[in-house]
Amino acid sequence: MADHYETLGVSRDATQAEIKKAYLKLARKLHPDVNPEPEAAEQFKAVTEAYDTLSDPQRRQQYDHGGAGGMGGGGFGFGDIFDAFFGGGAGSRGPRSRAQRGQDALIRLDLTLDEVIFGTHKDVEVGTAERCEVCDGTCCAPGTSPRMCTDCNGAGEVRRQVRSVLGPVVTTAPCEVCQGYGDVIDQPCGDCHGQGRVRARTTIPVDIPAGVDSGMRLHMPGYGEAGPGGGPNGDLYLEIRVREHETFTREGDNLAALVEISMMDAVFGTSTTIPGLDGEIALDIPAGTQPGDLLRIPDRGITHLRSNKRGDLEVTLQVRIPTKLDARQKDLLREFQTLDGAQDPKLSTQKHGLFSRLRGKFGR
């Protein structure tokens, strides 16, 4: 730190009047309102600090003995103290950038159950902001460039000396002429109106993994809106909604379906196929199938989100009892009834059945 006497250009035994005169002379030359050079602002600060110390007899005496300037020899100037109190710390110094990160975007994506089984590819159309191709995000008309702001000399902020309870202090505030950018764009790009980005609709190819479920969000870094002033893109989030299927129900990675069979197929058993979400599914219905019996077909459910393992398909069998019988059918069944013997209704001790399973599935 320069010597305060040297800064003001006075001798070590200068009187208070001489010190004040020297300060006013320098301040008129260096004050930011009259001198836009950045070095001048620094000098002005140093001069003010020197004056603050030397114009106070007690602090001048301290300074003369300790050599260090300011309060208690800590080398603190008023400007620093003001900054420390009012948040104008060193971190906020300098012009701010026009380039800002773009917004994140959230898109809802409807999927069918078929698409979820193995995953799918979608071209998602989104309304977004893209970097302006005409100015490439610079915000300036082609062939032009920003000019340094003469009000703040490119610093993006202006310093003013104000009186406060602490004495004269230097404050900094964003330059109003350039809004703190430090430069001014006289000819903004006409295509983006000086924003460096334009509204656009674009198609984003998305690979949707198998096993996603409603409410999940896929995170696609860098696929959000382009930032203003050539700033980086935000992120894209795809919120998944899986539509209800007409016949298949999802239970985690398993699929569930209800299959209706005839009474005779339940009695004698049969082999058949049903159309699955991923092709035909063979069903072996054993003889003596009871209503509500469950067939588990392994590995025909949904592919797990984080592995290649698939869930199962659970087929609940419903037995259709014939309701429209002609005379001959009735005769045959009555004959069967006679051979089968008297079958009075009775309470069952068997817990395995449609109702006990439904109770287990949906809670008590």
Choosing from 27, 134, 216, 240, the residue that interacts with Zn ion (CB under 5 A) is: 134
Helix (H, G, I), strand (E, B) or coil at 83: helix
Which two three-digit tokens encode residue 355? 């109702």
Choosing from 2, 34, 173, 177, the residue that interacts with Zn ion (CB under 5 A) is: 177
Query: How near is the Cβ of 228 to Zn ion at its closest, in Å?
Result: 11
Which two three-digit tokens encode residue 182? 């430090």
Query: How near is the Cβ of 168 to Zn ion at its closest, in Å?
Result: 23
Q: Which of residues 31-90 bind Zn ion (CB under 5 A)?
A: none
**152 labelled binding-site residue:** yes
- 82 vs 77: CA distance, rounded Å: 9
Residue 242 bridge partners (DSSP): 111
The sign of the CA dihedral 318, 324, 330, 332 is negative
What stretches of 55-109 show up as alpha helix (H) in DSSP? 57-66, 78-86
- 50 vs 42: CA distance, rounded Å: 12
Q: Which of these segments, 124-132, 283-291, 309-317, 327-335, binds Zn ion (CB under 5 A)?
A: 124-132
What number of other Cβ atoms are within 10 A of residue 145's Cβ?
11
Q: Give CA 358 to chain center in angstroms.
A: 41
**139 labelled binding-site residue:** no
**140 labelled binding-site residue:** no
Choosing from 40, 41, 109, 149, the residue that interacts with Zn ion (CB under 5 A) is: 149
Which residue, 189 or 317, is less far from Zn ion as judged by CB? 189
Q: Which of these segments, 128-136, 213-221, 230-238, 352-360, binds Zn ion (CB under 5 A)?
A: 128-136
Angle at which helices 16-30 and 38-54 cross, to 10° = 160
Choosing from 26, 41, 135, 212, the residue that interacts with Zn ion (CB under 5 A) is: 135
- 73 vs 44: CA distance, rounded Å: 21
Which residue, 109 or 226, is less far from Zn ion as judged by CB? 226
Tokens 């030359």 locate to 29
What stretches of 163-304 show up as alpha helix (H) in DSSP? 263-268
Which two three-digit tokens encode residue 136? 């490439």
- 257 vs 173: CA distance, rounded Å: 69
- The contacts of residue 71 (CB under 8 Å, 6+ apart) are 59, 81
Q: Which of these segments, 55-63, 125-133, 301-309, 326-334, binds Zn ion (CB under 5 A)?
A: 125-133
Which residue, 117 or 135, is less far from Zn ion as judged by CB? 135
Query: How near is the Cβ of 139 to Zn ion at its closest, in Å?
Result: 6
Which two three-digit tokens encode residue 54? 């030397």
Query: How near is the Cβ of 132 to Zn ion at its closest, in Å?
Result: 3
**175 labelled binding-site residue:** yes
Choosing from 117, 129, 192, 238, the residue that interacts with Zn ion (CB under 5 A) is: 192
Helix H or strand E encompassing 331? helix 327-340
175 counts as binding Zn ion under rule CB under 5 A: yes
Query: How near is the Cβ of 130 to Zn ion at its closest, in Å?
Result: 11
Query: How near is the Cβ of 236 to Zn ion at its closest, in Å?
Result: 23
Which residue, 191 or 213, is less far from Zn ion as judged by CB? 191
Q: Which residues bind Zn ion (CB under 5 A)?
A: 132, 134-135, 149, 151-152, 175, 177-178, 189, 191-192
**Binding site for Zn(2+), residues?**
132, 135, 149, 152, 175, 178, 189, 192
Q: Which segments are annotated as binding site?
A: 132, 135, 149, 152, 175, 178, 189, 192
